[in-house]
């Protein structure tokens, strides 16, 4: 069966005056229908860039330099801009990080919802309005029929993110790219938003690519998880395996650095060193200078994704 989204050897480059920077390097993964794939990694690992490449909204001069992106078997990375635009919102929805800035301040939320639906669906203005009220209701906006004519600034951050979720889902896409959907929110609101996102996507059978650096969110929400490091996928597998039994030394370091309520540690564990800059990625495995289990081959040969347990890891320990 064809997966809903299949990304193969995706490479994204930024041409600069001092040479070309490779920000994503042969990233491959797939998402099945209705599946939630978590994507984790530290800042600059390429998580958001992967999402932007999929929806065709890389910021110039960034460009896809290689690989393919297929949506339901159809190749979408080479589509002309207008065909790709019709996919955005209709077949792939997007949720951004900061709900305070993602809504246009000058239009009512109702107008933004009906505009999105009428761009993609053959429905009348009044039907779009009815559906918009329905969506606001589904995302938990109280008195939706009344609030539909309110402007974004009349809502709190958490409420606005609910509106953003309604906007991402209103044309009923099969896939939603959620780029750090809770990072900008109050901790008390984060759980509500994640629960809402989980419930809605399950009810509508929508697959989610959930980009975050919050392992707690991943553990709670995702079916599978991809760990990214320096523009590459270090490990990908079922979420319980990656959390309990990480196969890549980087994932292991990441899991060890999560503070635990059970063990009172004096200091949090950390991975020594920092992720390499894009213009200084070492030969072989990008993680080798920081890796506790490094050996000769790691410094010369670049590991590909190898079977490890129930998942795959880009690590020679599994070669």
Partner 1 sequence: MLGFILSRVLQAIPVLLVVGLLSFVLFAYIGDPVSIMLGQDHTEAQRLALVAELGLDQPFLIRFGRFLMATVQGDFGISYRLAKPVGPLLASRLPATLELAVTATVLAFAAGVPMGVYTGIRANGLVARLVMIVSLIGVSLPTFLMGILLILVFAVGLGWLPSFGRGPVSAIGGWWTTGFSSWAGVRALILPAVTLGLFQMTMIMRLVRSEMLEVLRSDYVRFARARGLTDSAINFGHALKNTLVPVITIVGLQFGGIVAFSLVTETVFQWPGMGLLLVQSVASADIPVISAYLPLIALLFVTINLVVDLLYYAVDPRLRFSA
State the residues that interact with partner 1 by CB under 8 A.
Answer: 55, 57, 85-90, 93-94, 96, 98, 101-108, 115-116, 119-120, 151, 153-154, 164, 167-168, 171
Q: Is the Cβ of residue 23 or residue 103 nearer to partner 1 in the bound state?
A: 103
Shortest Å distance, C-beta 27 to partner 1: 20
Classify burial at 305, counting beta carbons within 10 Å of its beta carbon; exposed 0-12, middle 13-18, buried 19 or more.
Answer: buried
Q: Is the Cβ of residue 131 or residue 224 nearer to partner 1 in the bound state?
A: 131
Q: Judge contact between 39 and 210, C-beta under 8 A.
A: yes
Q: Which two tokens stand for residue 250?
A: 């980087």
The rounded distance, in Å, linking the Cα atoms of 113 and 131 is 9
- Identify the CA nearest to 196 among candidates 39, 204, 92, 151: 204
Shortest Å distance, C-beta 121 to partner 1: 11
Shortest Å distance, C-beta 6 to partner 1: 21
Q: Is the Cβ of residue 26 or residue 212 nearer to partner 1 in the bound state?
A: 212
Task: Match 């109702």 to its residue by tokens.
Answer: 110
Shortest Å distance, C-beta 77 to partner 1: 16
Q: Judge contact between 208 and 239, C-beta under 8 A.
A: no
Q: Which residues are registered as beta bridge partners of 13?
A: 22, 63
Q: Is the Cβ of residue 5 or residue 55 nearer to partner 1 in the bound state?
A: 55
Q: Is the Cβ of residue 176 or residue 234 nearer to partner 1 in the bound state?
A: 176
- Those residues with Cβ within 8 angstroms of residue 135's Cβ, 6 or more apart along the chain or in another chain: 113, 166, 169, 170
Shortest Å distance, C-beta 32 to partner 1: 22
């Amino acid at each position: 069966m064809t997966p809903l989204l299949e990304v193969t050897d995706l490479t994204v480059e930024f041409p600069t005056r001092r040479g070309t920077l490779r920000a994503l390097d042969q990233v491959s993964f797939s998402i099945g229908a209705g599946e939630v794939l978590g994507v984790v990694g530290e800042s600059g690992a390429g998580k958001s860039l992967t999402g932007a490449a999929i929806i065709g909204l890389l910021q110039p001069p960034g460009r896809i330099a290689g690989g393919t992106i297929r949506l339901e078997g159809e190749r979408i990375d080479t589509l002309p801009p207008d065909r790709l635009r019709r996919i955005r919102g209709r077949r792939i929805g997007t949720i951004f990080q900061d709900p305070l800035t993602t809504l246009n301040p000058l239009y009512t939320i109702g107008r933004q919802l009906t505009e999105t639906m009428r761009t993609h669906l053959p429905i009348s203005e009044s039907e779009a309005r009815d559906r918009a009220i329905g969506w606001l209701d589904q995302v938990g906006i109280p008195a939706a029929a009344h609030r539909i004519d309110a402007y974004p600034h009349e809502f709190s951050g958490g409420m606005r993110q609910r509106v953003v979720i309604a906007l991402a889902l209103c044309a009923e896409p099969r896939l939603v790219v959620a780029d750090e959907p809770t990072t900008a929110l109050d901790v008390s609101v984060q759980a509500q938003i994640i629960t809402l996102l989980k419930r809605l996507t399950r009810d509508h059978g929508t697959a989610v690519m959930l980009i975050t650096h919050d392992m707690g969110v991943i553990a709670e929400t995702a079916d599978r998880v991809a760990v990214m490091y320096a523009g590459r996928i270090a490990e990908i597998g079922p979420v319980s395996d990656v959390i309990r039994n990480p196969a890549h030394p980087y994932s292991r370091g990441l899991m060890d650095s999560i503070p635990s309520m059970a063990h009172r540690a004096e200091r949090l564990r950390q991975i020594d060193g920092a992720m390499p800059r894009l213009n200084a990625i070492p030969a072989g495995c990008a993680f080798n200078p920081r890796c506790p289990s490094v050996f000769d081959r790691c410094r010369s040969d670049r590991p590909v994704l190898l079977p490890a347990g129930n998942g795959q890891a880009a690590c020679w320990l599994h070669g």
